[in-house]
Amino acid sequence: MAARTPRILAIGGASFGARSTDGPLHRFLLDLTGQARPRVCLIPTASGDNAGEIANFYATLAQHAEATHLELFGRTVEDVEGFLLDQDLVYVGGGNTANMLAIWRLHGVDKALRKAWEQGVVLAGSSAGANCWFEGSVTDSFGLDLAALRDGLGFLKGSFCPHYDSESLRRPRYEELVGAGTLPDGYASDDGVGLLFEDRELREAVASLPGQHAYRVERRRGNAVEESQIRARLLR
């Protein structure tokens, strides 16, 4: 059975495959399920069900979990809700956040994920796979310029910004959007850093490499913004 407490791990940026440095994060995720060999599902919608992403996912996790994936561009799963409720962990890959949310809503994945989360299936993801859980986020879904997306799933309150350390425009753009009130107060995360939420409350930040952290970003008077570092626990 999945854990009872609703939990989400929102990761600023991560990858699967032989060159990935995110092994500690992957092990942490599997441990969260409490299962010796958990059932783990990848949802690669944001990348257009990219075959390389799916292959890297299986290469990374199939030795340690019962791995599967949910394709929507070539959908074969009829009962999406039942399929996701049968998992211990659902991981959402990166890519185009806006397109992913639109496709999910057409196929009922948004409602199935909410039910899975409420019943204790661990939810996780990086980049677009982290943006989606919040009310809003910073995204490149609409073109080269970073923009606000304000119709996330809203499982978690506030907004999110991924790739805080690896993309130079992310930090100033996120602060601009929060300062203007376009996005609500929220969180930002470096690549390789995950924010673990339990019952919508932040429990801790964890990192796969030293020197990486997360941040709380809040609007103050006028358009002023206050950024507070959330120190991440280094995973071994």
Catalytic residue among 15, 47, 126, 127: 127
Catalytic residue among 15, 26, 163, 189: 163
User: Distance (Å, rounded) from C-alpha 181 to C-alpha 202?
Assistant: 22
| b/e code 3-22 from CB counts within 10 Å (16+ = b) | beebbbbbbbbbbbeeebeb
User: Distance (Å, rounded) from C-alpha 146 to C-alpha 192?
Assistant: 21
**Residue 127 among the catalytic residues:** yes
- Name the nearest CA neighbour of 142 among 175, 173, 186, 96: 96
Partners of 134 in beta bridges: 156
**Residue 213 among the catalytic residues:** no
Longest dimension (CA), the chain: 52
Q: Active-site residue numbers?
A: 127, 163
